[in-house]
Amino acid sequence: MTLVEEPGRRERKRQQMVALLVGVAGRLFETQPYPSVTMEQIALEADVAKRTLYNHFPTKEALLAHWLEAELKRDLERLLPELKRRNGFVERVSIELDASADWCQRHPAHLAAYLRHRFLSMGDAPPQPEPPSSDRGDIARLWHALIVDGQAAGEISDRFSAMQLTTWFHHLYLGTLMRWLIEPTLALRDEFTQMVALFMEGAASRSA
C-alpha cells in the first residue's frame, strides 16, 4: 500500500525549508557585501543540495525579495504602537518613511537589487501595490490603511478611491527610492518629506 503524505504536512515541510533558506541567506546578506553572496554559498551554509535551493528560489534576487519582505513585515509590526500614538496621515506615514530611510541607507545594494527584481519580474510594468486583503507584508497595505484613516478624518480628499491614492503614493515612494539610488548624496529623509508634501499639496502653483 502506498502512503500518501498529507498536503498539510508537505506544506509545513516546505515552509520550514523556506524559513531555513531565507534565514541563512539573510544572515549572509547582513554580514557580507550583497554581490559577493552566491547561491552556492547559501546552499552550503544551509546544508542543502543546490537543486533543493533552486527548487524553492530560482535566483538570489528571489531569495532577497522574500527576506526583505519578511524584514519589512517585522519592522511594520514593531512600528505599529508608535503609529497609533501619532495623529494624522503626515505624522504617521513619516514614522514609517524615517524607518525606511534608515534601512535603505544601510542596505543600498540590497535595495537596488530588490527593485530590479520587482521591475524585471513584471516586464515593462512598474511594481504595483498589493490589494489591502493580501497576506503579504507589503508596505502598500500600510499606505492604504493610513489613507483610509486620512479620508475618514477629512485630511485627505475622497475624490479618488483609497486604492487609487495608494497606487499613486506607492509609485511616488518607488520613484523617490530610485532617484536616491541614482543620486546617493541626496538626504533620503528630506526626499521623503518633499514626496509627502507633493502628495498632500499637489504640484500646482499656489498663485495659479
Residues 35 and 117 in one domain: no
Structural domain contains residue 207 = no
Predicted confidence (pLDDT) per residue in 115-165, tens digit: 998 888 765 444 444 433 333 447 888 999 999 999 999 999 999 999 999
Q: Among 18, 41, 58, which residue terminates a domain?
A: 58
Q: Which of 9, 139, 45, 40 is nearest to 83 (CA)?
A: 139
Question: How many Cα neighbours within 13 Å face the side chain of 180?
Answer: 26
Give the count of domains, the chain. Answer: 2
pLDDT tens digits for range 35-48: 999 999 999 999 99
Check: CB of residue 196 under 8 Å from CB of residue 94: yes
Say yes or no to pLDDT of 187 above 90. yes
Q: Look up the CATH number of the domain holding residue 36.
A: 1.10.10.60
Q: Give the least confident one: 29-43, 78-92, 113-127.
A: 113-127
Cβ–Cβ under 8 Å, residues 95 and 75: no
* Spatial separation of the C-alpha atoms in residues 106 and 127, rounded to whole Å: 23
Cβ contacts of 173 within 8 Å, gap of 6 or more: 139, 143, 195
Q: Look at residue 124 in the predicted model and tell me its pLDDT.
A: 42
Q: How would residue 2 be classed by pLDDT, with cut points 50, 70 and 90? A: very low
